[in-house]
Chains A and B, each alone.
Chain A
Amino acid sequence: MSAKRWLPFAAFLLIAALLATGVWLSRRDNREALPSPLIGKPAPEFALPVLHEPNRIVTSKDLRGQPYLLNVWGSWCPECRVEHPVISRFAATKRVRVIGYNWKDEPVDALKWLERFNNPYWLVLADIEGGTAIDFGIYGAPETFLVDAEGIVRWKHVGAMTDTIVRDELLPVLEAAEAMKQ
């Protein structure tokens, strides 16, 4: 029996190992995430109108005191609909305030979207022109930020949230942030 005949099998083992690594890497959901320079720094100052009451302006200072999750979405964004049930489930736990950040959207479409899929948000801010989004370094929806009670950005996720990300990333960071405060 010649050793030559084992070559295909050996080559396959190499490829299989590579593919296994690939699967492993793609399970790390933040594989595409770019590190945000904002993490550990104060969230940008902003003053944005509330989607449901355009005359009411909410500023970053108004939100201090308790941590909050800022979820960037738009009615034009199909991925946002994918993560919508995840956000709803998380919001239902009432762990922290979940604030919607409606980005580059028509208010009419945004309201219709919330009506159709339910509104999981404690409050929805509207950034129609996308000006504040630049300060946050948002380059695509959905994106999600965790801001602590002092207004420091603790965590950021690019792309649709999943229950696994909530459990394995968001909640540990949130607990750590709360522990630091006490």
Chain B
Amino acid sequence: MHLLPEFGQIALILALLISLLLSTLPLIGAQRGLAPWMAIARPAAWAQLALVGVAFAILTWAFVAQDFSVRYVATNSNSLLPMMYRYSAVWGAHEGSLLLWALILAAWTAAVAAFSRSLPQPVVARVLGVMGIVSLGFLAFLIFTSNPFERVLPAAAEGRDLNPLLQDFGLIVHPPMLYMGYVGFAVPFAFAIAALLDRNASRPEEVARWLRWTRPWTNVAWGFLTIGIALGSWWAYYELGWGGWWFWDPVENASFMPWLAGAALLHSQAITEKRGSFRSWTLLLAIAVFSLSLLGTFLVRSGVLTSVHAFASDPGRGLFILIFLGLVVGSSLLLYAMRAPDVDGGKPFTGASREALLLMNNVFLTAACAMVLIGTLYPLLADALELGKISVGPPYFSLLFIVLMAPIVLLLPLGPLIRWQSDDYARPLRMLLPWAALALVAGGISYFQAPNGPWKTAAGVAGSVWIAFGTARFVWQRVRTHRSALTAEMCGMVLAHGGLAVFLIGALLVEAQLQQREIAMKPGQTLTLGRDSFRFDGVQRLPGPNYTASRGTVEVFRDDRRVTTLHPEKREYASGGQVMTEAAIRPGVTRDVFVALGEPLGNDAWAVRVHIKPFIRWVWIGAALMALGGFVTALDRRFRKAAINDGHPEHGEAVEGPASAVTGTTAGPSPAARDDIASRDA
């Protein structure tokens, strides 16, 4: 027997010791001004990444080489598992997914160490130290409650197999993306804590400078989280066989809360960086977003809330994460309560200004996040108070979510067009008037054209046209008056807002126009749904690599012309006897045709489920555009330049710049120049 898994174990323990160093010495050094102590932070971050990387590589090797003496490998794979899933099986269950979390955190910590040359040493020491504390908690959790390298002696002859639900491409990429987002929010969080620890650092100009440095990280983390959530939704759509793309399931909510709060944070960071307003609020949001990421991990990993996604859960582990969550979040909020800056320090603004609109954005996004939090925890509250077992369903979430998002959709196009500090709503409204009219007309037409769900269809089309053309109006304004390309930051904003427009069409049209039928069909029978008909040609038994499939054949016709042949499957996995539904989908830009096999009903008859889902792809295309927006924003030269210039940017965009250059209210430049200035730092 070889000892490789023991080396993995040792690497993890060493990583824990390194994170112990990282989470103490640099923080103490920064507090006391001891340069050699602070200097430990960077090498420690690198060493931690190397050690966790080695542990992860060894666990991966154990899966590839099928070392069934490792309990985690024996539980989550077997000899029939195809090679590609042996890699993804590493994070297919609790222990491995935590190891992935720790690996990604180590990678982000090392990235901060690498890209922070321009920051003062105490700041770097504190930020890396705070990330070290988080890492310490996760590594301890791994080693003490969820050891992935635990052995079974004698070795199992055969493994149990990976949960068939997870043997899929979606699973390979969904968790890493999601964790990149969750863990990425540790960076703005660590900065917020560093700012609260250092009294000097919470001065307005210091905060602006730090935010310029952290904003790209927040944007990138949010972009990854967006991709992660979208992949999860896409995977649920084609793999769970229910045909939906969002279920308001506790685990989906767990990732959606940091997303909503993260979207609020992106905007509030922009105000604070540029105008100095909402300093305390931005610090609090940065803490809240990462706390919600930790809460998400807690909800998924503890089994406190039961859900289709809770593949691995255990109350003893729940207690550990809860204590960790309490220490990290509790002490952060305590620190906030004691140290948050008393004076806002930002420039005053009126009710008609970009600040005011961004404030509204934050109010509604935060309210939506709180609504999801309450809905997710309410069943727990009801259970705790012995009010009986209650589950809060999609009707609550959908209704409140639409109510809270509608104002955001209505106000969104105004945001980039209105000026900072003080403006008049009449000016941007005049620019947008034709597009508002267009949106209403488009909504009106679709109300009468829609075969069903006219209100939702009209709302989706009108909202989408309003956002898309309103955003395009901003681009035109900028190009016309400034005669230069958009900055990366603006491109990112335009992409993300455009993504929202695309998403709205998808989300509302699929809700309104969905057609579905579930009937018993015998071979040769035809089901007609509007202009489409579906002929069921029976079911064959076919062997797969680690399952046997019942493979149905359905011929799809539109207006009596053959469109395609679909093969929905029921797969029976050899190892666990679990049966999985594999829906057959013909994707399309304007609609998906979705066919899934239900139960065999005897005499060759099968329950067959047929859905027609208009515009469902737009949901994920919209999300992809939003994520791209986050990434593009992070590329803005201003963020890098500002850091190199040590926080003294040459343009008048920063807080300490001359006020007249920013607002354009006192000097009275030409109207065109005023528009230009107003839109420059969108």
Main secondary structure of the interface of A (DSSP, over half): helix
- The answer, yes or no, to whether B658 is at the interface (CB within 8 Å) is no
Which residues of chain B have C-beta atoms less than 8 A from A18's C-beta?
Answer: 377, 380-381, 384
Which residues of chain A have C-beta atoms less than 8 A from B377's C-beta?
Answer: 15, 18-19
Which residues of chain B have C-beta atoms less than 8 A from A54's C-beta?
Answer: none
- The answer, yes or no, to whether B543 is at the interface (CB within 8 Å) is no
Which residues of chain A have C-beta atoms less than 8 A from B316's C-beta?
Answer: 27
Flag if B318 contacts A25 (CB, 8 Å).
Answer: no
Flag if A23 contacts B319 (CB, 8 Å).
Answer: yes
Flag if B333 contacts A12 (CB, 8 Å).
Answer: yes
Q: How far is the CA of A20 from the CA of B302 in the complex (A)?
A: 11
Flag if B288 contacts A23 (CB, 8 Å).
Answer: no
Flag if B325 contacts A8 (CB, 8 Å).
Answer: no
Q: How far is the CA of A8 from the CA of B291 in the complex (A)?
A: 12
Which residues of chain B have C-beta atoms less than 8 A from A22's C-beta?
Answer: 302, 304-305, 318, 380, 383-384
Flag if B337 contacts A8 (CB, 8 Å).
Answer: yes
How many whole Å from B91's CB to the nearest CB in chain A?
Answer: 20
Flag if A2 contacts B160 (CB, 8 Å).
Answer: no
Q: How far is the CA of A81 from the CA of B295 in the complex (A)?
A: 31
Which residues of chain B have C-beta atoms less than 8 A from A59's C-beta?
Answer: none
- The answer, yes or no, to whether B244 is at the interface (CB within 8 Å) is no
Q: How far is the CA of A109 from the CA of B302 in the complex (A)?
A: 34
Which residues of chain A have C-beta atoms less than 8 A from B578's C-beta?
Answer: 78
Which residues of chain B have C-beta atoms less than 8 A from A12's C-beta?
Answer: 291, 329-330, 333
Q: How far is the CA of A9 from the CA of B288 in the complex (A)?
A: 11
Count residues of A near B (Cβ-Cβ below 8 Å).
25
- The answer, yes or no, to whether B520 is at the interface (CB within 8 Å) is no
Flag if A9 contacts B330 (CB, 8 Å).
Answer: yes
How many whole Å from A176's CB to the nearest CB in chain B?
Answer: 26
Which residues of chain A have C-beta atoms less than 8 A from B298's C-beta?
Answer: 19
Flag if B384 contacts A21 (CB, 8 Å).
Answer: yes
- The answer, yes or no, to whether A139 is at the interface (CB within 8 Å) is no
- The answer, yes or no, to whether B340 is at the interface (CB within 8 Å) is yes
Interface string of A1-22 (1 = CB under 8 A from B): 1100110110011011011111
Q: How far is the CA of A1 from the CA of B333 in the complex (A)?
A: 15
Contact flag A78-B384 (CB < 8 Å), given A8-B333, A16-B326, A16-B330: no
Q: How far is the CA of A9 from the CA of B336 in the complex (A)?
A: 8
Q: Which single member of B304, B380, B576 contacts A78 (CB below 8 Å)? A: B576
Which residues of chain A have C-beta atoms less than 8 A from B337's C-beta?
Answer: 5-6, 8-9
Contact flag A2-B380 (CB < 8 Å), given A19-B298, A78-B578: no
Q: How far is the CA of A16 from the CA of B303 in the complex (A)?
A: 15
Q: How far is the CA of A15 from the CA of B342 in the complex (A)?
A: 26
Q: How far is the CA of A19 from the CA of B330 in the complex (A)?
A: 13
Q: How far is the CA of A78 from the CA of B284 in the complex (A)?
A: 45
Contact flag A8-B330 (CB < 8 Å), given A22-B384, A23-B302: no
Chain B residues 288-305 with CB under 8 Å of chain A are: 288, 291, 295, 298, 302-305
Task: Identify which of B303, B337, B380 gathers the most chain A CB atoms within 10 Å of its CB.
Answer: B337
Count residues of B near A (Cβ-Cβ below 8 Å).
37
- The answer, yes or no, to whether A76 is at the interface (CB within 8 Å) is yes
- The answer, yes or no, to whether A102 is at the interface (CB within 8 Å) is no
Chain B residues 332-347 with CB under 8 Å of chain A are: 333-334, 336-338, 340, 342
Chain A residues 59-101 with CB under 8 Å of chain B are: 75-76, 78, 81
- The answer, yes or no, to whether A118 is at the interface (CB within 8 Å) is no
- The answer, yes or no, to whether B280 is at the interface (CB within 8 Å) is yes
Interface string of A142-158 (1 = CB under 8 A from B): 00000000000000000
Q: Which single member of A1, A6, A23 contacts B322 (CB below 8 Å)? A: A23
How many whole Å from A81's CB to the nearest CB in chain B?
Answer: 7
Of chain B, the residue at the smallest CB distance from A19 is B322
Q: Which single member of B160, B322, B334, B381 contacts A16 (CB below 8 Å)? A: B322
Flag if B318 contacts A8 (CB, 8 Å).
Answer: no
Which residues of chain A have C-beta atoms less than 8 A from B304's C-beta?
Answer: 19, 22-23, 26
Task: Identify which of A12, A75, A81 gathers the most chain B CB atoms within 10 Å of its CB.
Answer: A12
Flag if B160 contacts A81 (CB, 8 Å).
Answer: yes
Of chain A, the residue at the smallest CB distance from B379 is A22
Which residues of chain A have C-beta atoms less than 8 A from B373's C-beta?
Answer: 15
Flag if A23 contacts B315 (CB, 8 Å).
Answer: yes
- The answer, yes or no, to whether B577 is at the interface (CB within 8 Å) is yes
Contact flag A9-B576 (CB < 8 Å), given A25-B384, A26-B318: no
Of chain A, the residue at the smallest CB distance from B339 is A5
How many whole Å from A89's CB to the nearest CB in chain B?
Answer: 15
Which residues of chain A have C-beta atoms less than 8 A from B319's C-beta?
Answer: 23, 27
Which residues of chain B have C-beta atoms less than 8 A from A15's C-beta?
Answer: 295, 373, 377
Which residues of chain B have C-beta atoms less than 8 A from A21's C-beta?
Answer: 380, 384
How many whole Å from A5's CB to the nearest CB in chain B?
Answer: 5
Which residues of chain B have C-beta atoms less than 8 A from A20's C-beta?
Answer: 322
Flag if B577 contacts A76 (CB, 8 Å).
Answer: yes
Q: How far is the CA of A8 from the CA of B316 in the complex (A)?
A: 27
Q: How far is the CA of A102 from the CA of B384 in the complex (A)?
A: 36
Contact flag A8-B303 (CB < 8 Å), given A16-B325, A21-B384, A76-B577: no
How many whole Å from A30's CB to the nearest CB in chain B?
Answer: 13
Interface string of B304-324 (1 = CB under 8 A from A): 110000000001101100100
Of chain A, the residue at the smallest CB distance from B341 is A5
How many whole Å from B342's CB to the nearest CB in chain A?
Answer: 7
Task: Identify which of B305, B373, B383 gathers the most chain A CB atoms within 10 Å of its CB.
Answer: B383
Interface string of B373-394 (1 = CB under 8 A from A): 1000100110110000000000
Of chain B, the residue at the smallest CB distance from A26 is B315
Flag if A27 contacts B315 (CB, 8 Å).
Answer: yes
Contact flag A13-B330 (CB < 8 Å), given A8-B288, A22-B380, A78-B578: yes
Q: How far is the CA of A27 from the CA of B384 in the complex (A)?
A: 13
Of chain A, the residue at the smallest CB distance from B378 is A18
Q: How far is the CA of A7 from the CA of B315 in the complex (A)?
A: 29
How many whole Å from A150's CB to the nearest CB in chain B?
Answer: 34
Flag if A26 contacts B384 (CB, 8 Å).
Answer: no
How many whole Å from B288's CB to the nearest CB in chain A?
Answer: 7
Chain A residues 6-57 with CB under 8 Å of chain B are: 6, 8-9, 12-13, 15-16, 18-23, 25-27, 31
Could you show 28 A-B contacts with beta carbons less than 8 Å apart? A1-B342, A5-B336, A5-B340, A8-B284, A8-B333, A8-B336, A9-B330, A9-B336, A9-B337, A12-B291, A13-B330, A15-B373, A15-B377, A18-B380, A18-B384, A19-B377, A21-B380, A22-B305, A22-B318, A22-B384, A23-B318, A25-B383, A26-B303, A26-B304, A26-B318, A27-B315, A27-B316, A27-B319
5 cross-chain pairs, A with B, having the tightest CB-CB distances, nearest first: A22-B304, A9-B333, A21-B384, A76-B577, A26-B315
Given contacts A12-B330, A16-B329, 17 further A-B contacts (CB under 8 A): A5-B336, A8-B287, A8-B336, A9-B330, A9-B333, A9-B337, A13-B330, A16-B325, A18-B380, A18-B384, A19-B322, A19-B325, A21-B380, A22-B380, A23-B318, A26-B304, A109-B577
